Amino acid sequence: MTRTVLESKTKTVVIGFDEPFCVIGERINPTGRKKLAAELEAGDFSTVEKDALEQVACGAMVLDVNSGAVFTNKMAEDPRYADNNFVEPPLMKEMVARIQAITDVPLCIDSSVPGALEAGLSTCEGRPLLNSVTGEEERLELVLPLVKKYNVPVVAISNDDTGISPDPDVRFAVAKKIVERAADFGIPAHDIVVDPLVMPVGAMASAGQQVFALVRRLRDELGVNTTCGASNVSFGLPNRHGVNAAFLPMAIGAGMTSAIMNPVRSVEMEAIRAANMLMNHDANGGEWIRFSRILDAVKEGASFPEACAAQAAAGGRGRRRARA
């Protein structure tokens, strides 16, 4: 049974076919968040720290840390700030250090800049997930040596030099290529977590069916764990959280084992908790019962993050594996 092991200094999270669905919190990402990008440019990490604590309280088992900030004001003063290769490595190191100081969950180091990936890896305590490698030849040659050097698992995104194919067979072939190339570096398949690329269902009616079929193939034929950017499926639609909440249990039923998503949304987290129980990945329904207490507090007027934080403070942090 495929098991992808992630570690912080004190905690272990296992992504696997027989494990509860792994929620990877997506919010520590300045892309599209002008306020957060401006704070980071000013050396203010308060939102990063708030988002880290809030996501963990709401159920994130892993935190994605993305350093893709644009420092507009500094760029005007110093042209080096126009280059993400200059901006991201020190920013990633600082973000990782600050998050590790206040949380105990494993991290997912997320950047398109190889120098930022290595900066994050060198700062991380434990065994983070690296996000990401694609099937592009240049990217394979840059990222796979880092994966091998630091002995970490990696997200493999199913696009290559030709771009993102609408054909699921092509996306499967790209994933297979990455797994095979990783093996050439001595990286086992259980350390490859494939993102089969979820298309927006509003633009492609068969997008959901495609990804469910792809996940089954990736599990059965390649034996790899899978992930996705869960909110992609609802892009451009009204009531996106309702669509996401329907998509996630269906993806879990098809064999998907993790997702990069926003855990602060109660409807999606409720769907995942229920799916875990229905898949027999929640012993005696203990996590569902704990989560139901959170939902009861929300009905009584608490916000979802407040109710989650109160439950955590009361000792209901839920299922975590202690490191051996």
pLDDT tens for 54-106 read 999 999 999 999 999 999 999 999 999 999 999 999 999 999 999 999 999 99
Helix (H, G, I), strand (E, B) or coil at 111: coil
**What pLDDT sits at residue 314?**
87
The average confidence (pLDDT) of the chain is: 95
User: pLDDT tens across 225-273, in order?
Assistant: 999 999 999 999 999 999 999 999 999 999 999 999 999 999 999 999 9
User: pLDDT tens across 115-128, in order?
Assistant: 999 999 999 999 99
Does residue 320 register a pLDDT over 60? no
Picking from 25, 75, 69, 79, the residue whose alpha carbon sits closest to that of residue 44 is 69
Q: What's the rounded mean pLDDT across residues 126-154?
A: 98
Helix (H, G, I), strand (E, B) or coil at 18: coil
**What pLDDT sits at residue 1?**
78
User: pLDDT tens across 35-44, in order?
Assistant: 999 999 999 9
Alpha helix (H) residue ranges in 124-167: 137-150
Rounded Cα gap, residues 57 and 155, in angstroms:
24
CATH for 3-282 is 3.20.20.20
Does residue 323 register a pLDDT over 70? no
Break the chain into its structural domains and give their ranges: 3-282, 285-323
How many Cα atoms within 13 Å fall on the side-chain side of residue 20? 24
Alpha helix (H) residue ranges in 279-324: 286-299, 304-313
Q: Which two tokens stand for residue 137?
A: 């030849």
